[in-house]
Structure 1
Amino acid sequence: MKISVLTVCWNSAATIRHTVDSFFAQDHQDKELVVVDGGSWDKTLTIIRSYPQDQIQLISEPDRGMYDALNKGLRLYTGDAVGVLNSDDCFHDQTVLTRISAELGRADIVHGDLDFVENHLNKRVVRRWRAAPRPAKGFRTGWMPAHPTFYVKRKVAESVGAFDLSLKVASDYDWMLRAVELHGFGSATISHILVDMMVGGASTRSLGSYIGHNFEALRSRRQWLRSGPIDYALVAKPARKLGQFLSKRFG
């Protein structure tokens, strides 16, 4: 199974080497890295072009943000399955794509564990995200997978379509919701840390972005799941994240 990994970047010279190194370290050989760059003027492109290019697709041009760039990646990738690795994140170890490929032999969608780390040098864990199987009511319960661990077969990506550019910080949540809840695809969890994610992403870098993400997620549930103006997941979703912080602090 050929697995395509989408990486969006813009002036990411400080972190992109960790990301690309972790891709090339994978023991799964049938893979490609699709890098969609927003027109970097630092050394990002020089770093990417220093790697063997036979497994890299690279485009560099202005875009309308991360989700627009991901939509470009969805149009470009050639694999049997696809997922996203952010330009300041990396695969946890060399077995990740092998594990994903094996589980995609049994399910249409897979996701797994993730560690939030301070940086990729000290690997100090700030928060742990441990995957759980989809509950009976899915996203209505506050459950969601960790997007950097979320891989789908091509038929899923084609059914879901593009990321919604009207959502500024929760379009990944909306995309996963549509994949899991609307088309009847089966999902499986991988009980293994798949990604080391640096803290400070778009939905968590400030209180305002965190609140914005939760209300955009509510908007997605109202659109696709017919949730009310306020629903259970609006409280349960942040509560699940609090549990992740506590598991790191006291676990």
Structure 2
Amino acid sequence: MNNRPNPRFSVITVTYNAEKVIEKTIQSVVGQTYKEWEYIIIDGASKDNTLAIIDKYRDNVNKLISEPDKGLYDAMNKGIAAASGDYLCFLNAGDIFHESNTLQFISDSISGNTLPDIIYGETAIVDKDDNFLHMRRLKTPEKLTWKSFKQGMLVCHQAFFAKRTLAEPFDLSYRFSADFDWCIRVMKKASTLHNTHITVIDYLDEGLTTQNHKASLKERFHIMAKHYGWVSTVAHHIWFVIRLIVKPEK
């Protein structure tokens, strides 16, 4: 007798004025062959056509909240509070599941009769027309632990599914890298981390402004120092600079 559990996924999309990309994200969710999911959309009171597009799929959206928020991570916290599934999956507006049966593949990859605390996989980078550009630069480790992120955010947040019961709110003191801190905190509490060995997400390559990118890197440095210690973090960054000088990345 097969006692393998069928996990329920809480897919959370945070959006604001995303009329150009929100529909393909919604279609990616509602078109999944695996149906054990709930869909939650947190909208920051969009002023464009976003809500009208969402309304077309309202029968497939379990929860919709549209109101002003304090930014991306505040909206994500609202999504966590609204979720009721086994796992949290943050699928931002513009991002899509890699295939229509991605959630089925994820469920099938779980062996035994106990759900792992964290599920993770690979991320493909795509352009605005969903053309494949390349796989994510940071390589997903075969075995993931909370210490793995000493090397950076090796798993894209969208391809990192955490058990809802382990999740804590995002730290709103971080404006750009709260997801990095959140993943580390969740992994510290996790006992089992499961590598699906599949590409989970097609991530829209929109690019960051130089200013935001620098601010994000600064935040990540402080997050790493908080979790791994100042000495380890400084030493790692020195080694990273040396490695770039000796063997520049292409």
Report the TM range for the smaller structure's normalisation: 0.7 to 0.9
Report SS of the residue matched to 2:136.
Answer: strand
Q: 1:165 to 1:136 in 2, by over 3 A?
A: closer
Find the partner of 1:142 among 152, 161, 165. 152
Aligned to 1:113: 122
- Taking the aligned partners of 1:230 and 1:118, their CA distance within structure 2 comes to 33
For residue 131 of structure 1, the aligned residue among 140, 153, 160 is 140
Per-residue deviation, residues 136-187 of structure 1 (Å, max 9, x unmatched): 9422233531111110112221xxx11011101100001001111x224321
Residue 249 of structure 1 corresponds to which residue in structure 2?
A: none
Q: For structure 1, list consecutive stretches of 5 or more residues without a partner in the other structure.
A: 247-251
**How much does 1:95 deviate?**
1.7
1:87 match: 93
State the superposition RMSD in angstroms. 2.6
Matched, 1:168 2:175: yes
Largest Rg, 1 or 2:
2
Letter in 2 for 1:222: A
Q: TM-score, normalised by structure 1?
A: 0.84
1:57 matched to 2:66: no
* Structure 2 residue corresponding to 1:14, chosen from 15, 20, 27: 20
TM-score, normalised by the number of residues in structure 2? 0.84
2:166–2:190: 8 Å Cα contact kept in structure 1? no
Cα distance in 2 for residues equivalent to 1:14 and 1:188:
34
Give the secondary-structure state (helix, strand or coil) at the position aligned to 2:75. Answer: helix
Shift of 1:123: 1.0
Q: Structure 1 pair 136/90, CA: closer, same or farther in 2 (3 Å)?
A: closer
Q: Distance in 1 between matches of 2:72 and 2:238?
A: 27
Q: How does 1:69-88 map to 2 (within 5 A)?
A: 69-88=75-94
Name the SS of the counterpart of 1:231 in structure 2: helix
Task: Pick which of 105-114 and 121-130 moved more.
Answer: 121-130
Work out the CA distance in 2 between the residues paired with 1:237 and 1:56.
Answer: 45
For 1:235 and 1:195, the matched residues in 2 are separated by: 32
1:218 is aligned to 221
1:198–1:141 distance in 2 versus 1, CA, 3 Å: closer
* Aligned residue identity for 2:194: A
Moved more, 130-139 or 30-39: 130-139
- What is the match of residue 44 of structure 2? 38
- Compared CA separation, residues 75 and 233, structure 1 to 2 (3 A): farther
Unaligned runs of 5+ in 2: 1-6
Structure 1 residues 177 and 98: CA distance shift in structure 2, 3 A: same
Q: Is the 8 A contact 2:150 2:233 kept in 1?
A: no
**Residues 1:195 and 2:201 are matched in the alignment:** yes
Letter in 1 for 2:166: V
Percent identity over paired residues: 28
Structure 1 residue corresponding to 2:104, chosen from 86, 98, 107: 98
Q: How many residue pairs were aligned?
A: 235
Name the counterpart of 2:4: none
1:11 and 1:137, CA in 2 relative to 1: closer, same or farther beyond 3 A?
Answer: closer
CA distance in 2, matches of 1:223, 1:186: 23
Q: Does structure 1 conserve the Cα–Cα contact (< 8 Å) formed by 2:157 and 2:183?
A: yes
